[in-house]
Amino acid sequence: EAGVAQSPRYKIIEKRQSVAFWCNPISGHATLYWYQQILGQGPKLLIQFQNNGVVDDSQLPKDRFSAERLKGVDSTLKIQPAKLEDSAVYLCASSLGPKSSYEQYFGPGTRLTVT
């Protein structure tokens, strides 16, 4: 079974530029998560999708971050414009559904450096 795929793996941009990350979850997984992990911290949930609907985006900085999952499969996360403090690893995870009993599976992450 293929795991969660993310691209790109690494990205370096200058502040005020825009960037987009892509995630392909495990086939059949209805729930998709985007996390931000700053160096030395635990992951912070940015947004959770159930199929193509948003379940929780309470910690997403909506003035600069946006995410979509139009067909309920792949998802993109965009930052526009980027700030220095956005430097982090962006993790995508998926699960069969939103229940606590369903384990989350994580992708390899995208490491973003904003200079």
Partner 1 sequence: KQEVTQIPAALSVPEGENLVLNCSFTDSAIYNLQWFRQDPGKGLTSLLLIQSSQREQTSGRLNASLDKSSGRSTLYIAASQPGDSATYLCAVRPGAGNNRKLIWGLGTSLAVNP
Q: Which residues would be at the binding site for partner 1 (CB under 8 A)?
A: 6, 40-43, 45, 48, 55-56, 89, 91, 93, 97-101, 103-109, 111
Question: Would residue 15 be called left, alpha or beta, if left means φ above 0 and alpha means ψ between -120 and 50 degrees?
Answer: beta
- Can you tell me the distance from the alpha carbon of 59 to that of 97, in angstroms, rounded to the nearest whole number? 20
Shortest distance, position 108 Cβ to partner 1, whole Å: 4
Contact call for residues 87 and 100 (beta carbons, < 8 A): no
Choose among 42, 31, 38, 44: nearest CA to 4: 31
